[in-house]
Structure 1
Amino acid sequence: MEPLTAGAIAIGTVIATKALEKTGEKVGETLWNKTGEFLVTLKKHSPHTVVAIEKAPSQPLDYGKAVLEVESVAKAHPQVNLAVQELVAAAQANPPLNLADALKEIKAAVEKSQHPDAPAFIQNIQKAINAAQTQTIDQRNSTFNI
């Protein structure tokens, strides 16, 4: 999976998980653990990004900037890349019910950015949105195939 898409799914999963936590809804233990591990790992290399992610949605998050920062840090630090990949895999296996909504917000933000990979990202993130929407309806045998 391309880094930009993986970073977006990771951020979307964190945002979606946090929103569910606030409403008292359950999140799978593996997804919960991988979300925490991702944030701890990212915080070592990009603490300002983690602070911004943790403040969302009470403070608006610049999704485009956050995705690019996660992409950059993941490219430079293999342990961050691994944490991103593990979180994405956990989200594929058991996506939060509101993941599609979080990914739509991220997609819209990246569409507005002038990132050179935006067209490929938009195509891939739409596949992830479609998969997340399908999984919230029927989670049997569904995965993100990006």
Structure 2
Amino acid sequence: MWLPNQCVVEQVVVLKAPPEEVYAFINNPAEWPKWTILNKKTDPSVIHLYAGPMQGKGARMQWSGDKVGNGQLIITESTNPYSITYVQKEEGGEDTTRGEFVLQQVNRGTMVHWKQRTPLADNPLGRVQGAIRKYKKQNELQQSLQGLNNLISNNSKRRASK
């Protein structure tokens, strides 16, 4: 039986905003709790800590919560306003997730392509657990991008009402 040696998840969405606006929410880890599942709505006990520069390469976020667990995210590369790469490590996990956002201007806004890759343990159990992890991570990305869409829509409505 052949099973993959890494968990790869990706989502694509088109947001009604220019790349610069979308990029600002992704490039600053302090903005992530506003749109990802790592927030008080998902886990009221979650606490966030930030280090390094506030945005771009080297910006860091740590989180700790009863439901979302403990982990950290570090932005490793940032090209304004088109791409961001990061590494993410969750406590209790031996593997490091590598993630990337690619933003592309399209006719009606910005296409956001979010991809994550996590190596899996080199044994049958680890590979089977990877299928469960993929399902969970796919849902997390989908919910987070919906949160980003809602945040950008609300910002647009606020600007329009001024």
TM-score higher than 0.5 here?
A: no
Calculate the TM-score normalised by the size of structure 1.
0.32
Largest Rg, 1 or 2: 2
Higher share in strand: 2
Calculate the TM-score normalised by the size of structure 2.
0.30
